[in-house]
Amino acid sequence: MAGTLYVVATPLGNLGDLSERASEVLRRVPVVAAEDTRRTRGLLTHLGAAPQLLSYHAHSDHKRLETLLEILHDGRDVALVSDAGTPAISDPGADLVAAAREASIVVVPVPGPSAVATALSAAGFKGERYLFLGFVPRKGGERSRLLARAAQEEWSVVLFEAPPRLADLLADLAKVAPGRRAVVARELTKLHEELRVGTVEELGQYYSEHPPRGELTVVLEGTGAPAEPPDRTEDAKEQAGLLLAEGLTRREVVRRLSDTLGLSRNDAYRLVMELP
């Protein structure tokens, strides 16, 4: 029989947050796949565990994934861990999990600490729904698109950021969501844990003057109201003109606009009838 892939959540910092179940799994499995073997070795030493430790991170080549799958096919269990928190959240663990599932290998989650849930729980913002964006790109159109989405989101938005780029992130958020409250959670569960609340402008000013260190999670408060739906009138007019030019009847164009753009039949009919 093939082995089992355990997806094991490990402490963000405080070792007391490691569950008994996670401890038992890490002591028992013969192989641990770790994002940073140095950090994980310290945890395993704390537990008195001595499994084979293999690195598996964002820059690992495909051969390492194949090696882990071979170990599992040979009947040995593997525990997947990240530097801290729950694996496969903003790290490459999802690739291994997907490959294991495709190979009909049993995947067992061992839940525990998560920076997302931890920061959100202490933010004081509504948390019944939230949007998680992870690390946004450093620049470019995708960064602009994601930050615009964050600014318009009804619910709280959780992001990760590296210390040298925090001030830039807050400055960009201030451009699209001026005056919005946010929380910067730094070094969660560690000795120098800090949760600072303020507007994005206030936080940007503070961290420009006091460059942060350590792991960072940012929670942006939601707008509290649904985002305005985009105005698709011009797109609809252009598409309707092209369809009419192809020889479709106005009735057929109305149906097509309703199906593809989500317009109501009445709105689509009115738009098409107003075209020359």
212-223 pLDDT tens trace? 999 999 999 999
Say if 225 falls within a structural domain: no
- What tens digit of pLDDT does each residue of 77-105 get? 999 999 999 999 888 899 999 999 999 99
Which pLDDT belongs to residue 90? 82
Say if 227 falls within a structural domain: no
- Residue 83 three-state SS: coil
Report, as an integer, the average pLDDT of 156-185: 97
> Are residues 24 and 64 both part of a single domain?
yes
Say if 8 falls within a structural domain: yes
Which pLDDT belongs to residue 230? 61
Strands 130-135 and 31-34: unpaired
Query: d(Cα 43, Cα 182) in Å, to the nearest integer?
Result: 32
Say if 171 falls within a structural domain: yes
Which pLDDT belongs to residue 163? 97
Query: d(Cα 154, Cα 128) in Å, to the nearest integer?
Result: 11
Strands 216-220 and 156-161: antiparallel
Which pLDDT belongs to residue 92? 81
- What tens digit of pLDDT does each residue of 189-211 get? 999 999 999 999 999 999 999 99
| Residue 243 structural domain | 233-273
Residues facing 10 on adjacent strands: 85
Q: How many domains does the chain have?
A: 3
> Are residues 50 and 33 both part of a single domain?
yes
Alpha-carbon separation of residue 104 from 3, 21, 72, 88, 245 (angstroms): 10, 24, 11, 19, 51
Residue 3 CB partners (closer than 8 Å, separation 6+): 71, 72, 73, 74, 75, 76, 77, 78, 105
> Are residues 38 and 60 both part of a single domain?
yes
- Residue 243 three-state SS: helix
Query: d(Cα 41, Cα 49) in Å, to the nearest integer?
Result: 9
- What tens digit of pLDDT does each residue of 51-66 get? 999 999 988 989 999 9
Tokens describing residue 276: 């020359």
> Does residue 261 surpass a pLDDT of 80?
no
| Lookup result for tokens 């998560």 | 114
For the beta carbon of residue 131, count every other beta carbon within 10 angstroms. 16
Say if 226 falls within a structural domain: no
> Does residue 125 surpass a pLDDT of 80?
yes
Domain CATH for 91: 3.40.1010.10
For the beta carbon of residue 188, count every other beta carbon within 10 angstroms. 25
The residue that leads in pLDDT, 18 or 270, is 18
Q: What is the mean pLDDT of the chain?
A: 94
Query: d(Cα 257, Cα 236) in Å, to the nearest integer?
Result: 7
> Are residues 216 and 179 both part of a single domain?
yes
Q: Which among 113, 139, 154 is the end of a domain? A: 113
At 101, the amino acid letter reads R
Counting residues of the chain whose pLDDT is more than 90, the rounded percentage is: 77
C-alpha closest to that of 149 among 218, 224, 227, 225: 227
Q: Tell me the pTM.
A: 0.80
Which pLDDT belongs to residue 231? 63
> Are residues 96 and 37 both part of a single domain?
yes
Report, as an integer, the average pLDDT of 31-41: 95
Query: d(Cα 95, Cα 246) in Å, to the nearest integer?
Result: 45
Domain CATH for 183: 3.30.950.10
Angle, CA of 7, 158 and 123, to the nearest 5°: 105
